[in-house]
Amino acid sequence: MFGHVMDDLSPAEVEAAAKLYGPLADRVRELVAATVLTEVDGPDVAKAIELIREATALLGSAAIEGSFGVRWTIDGKRRTWGNAVVGLRNPVAPPLDIRHDEEQTYADVVLGPQYEGPPTLVHGGIIAAMLDQVLGDAAVNAGAPGMTGTLNIRYRKGTPLGPVRIQAAVDRVEGVKTYVTGQVVVDDVVRAEAEGIFILPKEVRNLGDNPPPGLLAPGD
């Protein structure tokens, strides 16, 4: 599908790339938080802008065109490193490190000031974004992936900035539709809950009964 790219990278090369670009994105995340909170004056802002412009020019001297897309390696692994919620190398992403156990799919993350909506609380839209991602990944993990069809969210209480758990589990699969539920939890209290329906796209259905594993993944 459009935007899927096959890279001629070995597993070792992929690991090296993660170790190179992951810490870079972490440093930019720190800069993002500092930008939200800074109170320095004009001359210092001007100096910071000069440093940032220089870093941007340096990074831009060799770059992928368009967007990162989804990149595949020769051993059939996929990388969604540009993804806005889980992307290892995307400073907009917290990023979520999504895991699975026998009962559920979940992520524990600490959200900084750049995710604020109401004062001291996580933005409702960021909560929606994290739920979309974790619910979608639960569908993938259950072997029933899909694009988000509908996502219904109920906000029960404010979610404070800081440590947050997002969790989800597949409720049922009906044909091409996977029904998933999930919650955002802080201090053992459910702050928001969601129901999502994830639908296998027509393009993938046409590949037959067994689409290649991993063709769809979190964020799709």
Check binding of 21 to its own copies (CB under 8 A). Answer: yes
Among 18, 73, 108, 117, binds its own copies (CB under 8 A): 117
Check binding of 149 to its own copies (CB under 8 A). Answer: yes
Closer to its own copies by Cβ: residue 18 or 103: 18
Hey, which residues between 160 and 179 contact its own copies (CB under 8 A)? 161
Among 18, 147, 173, 190, binds its own copies (CB under 8 A): 147
Check binding of 113 to its own copies (CB under 8 A). Answer: yes
Among 73, 108, 158, 211, binds its own copies (CB under 8 A): 158
Among 8, 12, 60, 101, binds its own copies (CB under 8 A): 60
Check binding of 25 to its own copies (CB under 8 A). Answer: yes
Among 150, 203, 207, 213, binds its own copies (CB under 8 A): 150
Measured at the alpha carbon of residue 134, what is the angle toward residues 133 and 137, in degrees to the nearest 5? 85
Closer to its own copies by Cβ: residue 83 or 105: 83
Hey, which residues between 33 and 52 contact its own copies (CB under 8 A)? 34-42, 44-45, 47-49, 51-52
Closer to its own copies by Cβ: residue 103 or 178: 178
Give CB contacts under 8 A, 24+ apart, made by 122-130. 122/158, 122/159, 122/160, 122/161, 122/164, 124/153, 124/155, 124/192, 127/153, 127/155, 127/159, 127/184, 127/191, 127/192, 128/153, 128/194, 129/84, 129/85, 130/85, 130/94, 130/96, 130/164, 130/166, 130/184
Binding-site size for its own copies (CB under 8 A) equals 89
- Cα dihedral 26/30/35/38 (nearest 10): -170
- Closest contact distance (angstroms) between CB of 173 and its own copies is 19
- Cα dihedral 115/191/155/85 (nearest 10): 40
- Closest contact distance (angstroms) between CB of 168 and its own copies is 13
Tokens of 141: 């993990």
Beta bridge partners of 72: 6, 78
CA-nearest of 20, 43, 70 to 212 is: 70
Check binding of 2 to its own copies (CB under 8 A). Answer: yes
